[in-house]
Amino acid sequence: MNKKRISAFLTVIMMVMCILGGCSANSDTASGSKKEKKGKGKKFTISICGITLEDGINPSTKKPAEGWNTFKKNQLKSKFPDVDFVFNSVPWDNASGKMQTLLMSKGTDLFTIGGAFIPEYYKEGLMQSLNPFMEADKDFVYEDNYPAAFKTNLNCTDYSGKELLTLPWDVGYRLIIYDKQLFDDWGVEYLSENPTPEEIMEKAAKMTGNNPKTGKQNYGLWLEGNSLNMSYVIPLSQYFGAVECTGRFDQPADLKWSLNSDEFITTMQWIVDACKYVPDAATTGKGAEKFGKKDNDIAIAIDNNGVSIMNEYYNTKDESLLDRYQPTMHVGTDGGNWTPVDGMGISSHLSGKDAEQAWEILKYMCGPETKEWDYKNYGPKAIGHLISKDLYDPKDKFLAKNSEVMEKSTHPGYEINPFYGSNMQPTFASMISRSIAGEKVDVSKELNDLEDKAIQWSESKK
């Protein structure tokens, strides 16, 4: 049998299998659960990155947790009785590629993904704007449900910032947390509620070395040296008044770069200087394994979340740890920081009544009832809905503080531009790595070189 006949034969076989057994990538079977029985209602698929479909144990609290299939049966179905729901768990490994495939094949109706991919999906025609739904739905007021800043966060909008594409699903948390015991050991005054970079640097310097009480090595500071988004660069640049680039990020040829401005040089110089006070392992994102525990050796952690501290408390019931570790606001505008938002959006293939139904389901999935269930089963975690303030464990001051930082969130947007991942982040990571290793870094020269590369990159897009 020649190759063409073999190919045709296999195609026929695949078509028969699809007809008999179903070959949609949007079923629960794609995630290892039992196949849904067909009902009379419309089938509606929701694809969410990293969710657990079946009942199990919350790894943080060690308590029983319902899976999303149980949520579907007990809550979602009663809210929308005429809809047959299918949940699809998309692994985070190459999640963007997998989600793109689902959207291109019309294999999902609602979906979540990391916010940096959202404007590109819209540009490719894979999802639709929520603006028309919000304009028609007079009872829905965005600001009554989510922090107002999320409405223009470039993780949630198109490149122009005018079209809202998602409602918040999960949000990141970006806190500064310090260890009061180490401050006491060194005789250093605690961080203020709104610490400045100068204050952090000064106090980190005083607490790097051998602890005067224990004799053990301490580090004044921790930051993630190989962070994929270098999130702490954003609030620091805001504090020092740096604007890395301006323009529409879907029009890279027109971007105006300022990577070698005095303000951005000051920003990166602060980070390079601060590297003297971090453990060597921070180069690879490690070194903070003891933070949140009794034998901690780091005084101040930048862009921490407090989850390890809460996990330690849940597992040991030792409340002294909760008093020992204290969160503060960040160093960005009004104590804020860039807050990443993973949103839920509507696939572009839906229209008419189906699209209207999708909007109602979207509001419910990102609303207080769903997020309360989500938090109770899979917390501690940050939640975009404003009701989250009432959901937090009263002892979880870290997520409570994150709510305050979250409401001050900003998003300059440059990390969604391809130049960021290909040139800017690697340059920053290299500077930080070499600084931690004790090498001298000429910040001004390296940012001049990066500025030249950025200009050439934009020129190449014309």
Tens-place pLDDT, residues 390-446: 777 888 899 889 888 888 877 666 667 778 888 999 999 999 999 999 999 999 999
What b/e string do you get for 342-359 counting C-beta neighbours within 10 Å, with b at 16 or more? bbbbbbbbbeeeebebbb
Q: How far apart are CA 398 and CA 377, in angstroms?
A: 18
Tens-place pLDDT, residues 183-234: 999 999 999 999 999 999 999 999 999 999 999 999 999 999 998 788 899 8
57 φ/ψ angles, rounded to the nearest 5 degrees: -125, 135
CA atoms within 13 A on the CB side of 101: 9
Tens-place pLDDT, residues 154-178: 889 998 889 999 999 988 778 999 9
175-338+413-459 has CATH 3.40.190.10 classification: yes
Residue pair 26/47 in contact (Cβ under 8 Å)? The answer is yes
Q: How far apart are CA 128 and CA 261, in angstroms?
A: 38
Cis amide prior to 235 (ω within 30 degrees):
no
CA atoms within 13 A on the CB side of 134: 15
- What is the pLDDT confidence band of residue 18, given thresholds at 50, 70 and 90? very low
For the chain, what are the domain ranges?
28-165+343-407, 175-338+413-459
Q: How far apart are CA 166 and CA 150, in angstroms?
A: 10
> Lowest-confidence range among 5-14, 230-239, 312-321, 398-407?
5-14
- Please write down the HEC assignment for all residues of 15-44: HHHHHHHCCCCCCHHHHCCCCCCCCCCEEE
**What's domain 28-165+343-407's superfamily in CATH?**
Periplasmic binding protein-like II (3.40.190.10)
